Chain A
């Protein structure tokens, strides 16, 4: 397991690379995290996913978006143009670390949405509870915030404090503009795509149908939090981790 910084020296990104612990395959998986509001909840799950993939012979790379986690910058400076560049950097980095492997991507929440809307050529894509409509997702986060009794507070330069994090106007606008059901937004090229949902919605089903994905995989443990309090508690999702890693294993066979 190798913690590292990668990307440009002006705005380095932090990642953790896991080489295969079983017979190596020339295959790698980049794991894209959700929004930082969901980081405390999902970090443990994503770590377990990387370990599970390594145990199946995959090279795995987890990373933090610019302005989040251990990566450089502040969230208020971030926008999706930068995060799409981060994803491309992560794919390139894993390709180098793995000696030129074919790279797949799994994205949880906004991570999946970014993967599908980034000019990227990769092997397979798993969308784990993707944000299908960004405006709706922001409304849900706002509702969680306001359920705590606090109002989401405006900050300087039209930024907004939402569930403990200051989000810049540009990032908010970019997220609000996401609509994965608009074919023009789905610019990534993947060989195979799976939509995996812990609470299959009409939108998830519609996305699955539009993508021509083989199956809509139901995940047993719910990733999206139902309250602000749940966001602070680590999600243990062993069965979901198994389903996701097994899907990659099946596709690689």
Chain B
């Protein structure tokens, strides 16, 4: 396994680290993986999650580029005008161009929380993307979601969580939801986009943690949100209620790294 520090993109303003197997030559049938910042955390990911994943993937002969979006981590800001999403998409395209120059032509993109926005857009529009994984991504209320929430209410879990959040706010601590407020596409638009990805054969993985329970709280909710995906081959759902939003425990990171690496390895 080897790792290289890279600068790429216009004026080489973007910074990333590329992890590769052995000699670095692309392996036939092994798409390269792309991941960027989670919120404002830099490219190593929360608790070094992306570093651990990159090395697990390199052991399976997949290259992975973890990079900082413009203006985050070590990457310089963009000078082009345009909204934040458009600029983030440009960054991902620059990352793909960087990997193409190294002989990679098929990609798996991984979006986590706010990072889902750009990766969703790229996966929808770019036919080089053969797989997309979304962690704590877009989720929409369903009847069973409400029912599960009521059950948690009855068990006191919701109240305990609300009290803890209230105490945290009183102590001046920010909540994840405070830091990362975004606007979602409508459920219909999202379902249309996902079908567009799946129709061309892209593999999709949706993983939700316990930290996202306000919007996703049971296995099977994916099919309720997007009924047309139920019968699709190559669509996987993973629910990890024991994991917090940032995978702040070692065992939880080991679990998600194993799940993601195993999923990527099945994409040919």
Contact = CB atoms under 8 A, between A and B. Distances in A.
A234 B42 CA distance: 10
A36 B6 contact: no
Most chain A CB neighbours (cut-off 10 Å) among B40, B48, B51: B48
A43 B6 contact: no
Given A16-B74, A70-B5, A161 B250 contact: yes
Contact of B48 (A16, A36, A44): A36
Interface string B38-57: 00111110111001000000
Interface in B46-94: 46-48, 51, 73-74, 76
Given A72-B3, A155-B250, A47 B74 contact: yes
A165 B252 CA distance: 12
Contacts, number: 65
Nearest to B5: A3
A203 interface: no
A2 B3 CA distance: 15
Interface residues of B, number: 28
Interface stretch (A25-33, A134-142, A224-232): A224-232
B173 A230 contact: yes
Nearest to A50: B74
Nearest to A68: B48
B4 interface: yes
27 contacts: A1-B7, A1-B15, A1-B74, A3-B5, A3-B15, A3-B74, A4-B5, A5-B4, A14-B5, A14-B17, A40-B41, A43-B73, A44-B40, A47-B73, A68-B48, A70-B43, A70-B51, A161-B249, A161-B250, A166-B250, A227-B171, A227-B173, A229-B173, A233-B173, A233-B174, A233-B179, A234-B40
Interface of B: 3-7, 15, 17, 40-44, 46-48, 51, 73-74, 76, 168, 171, 173-174, 179, 246, 248-250
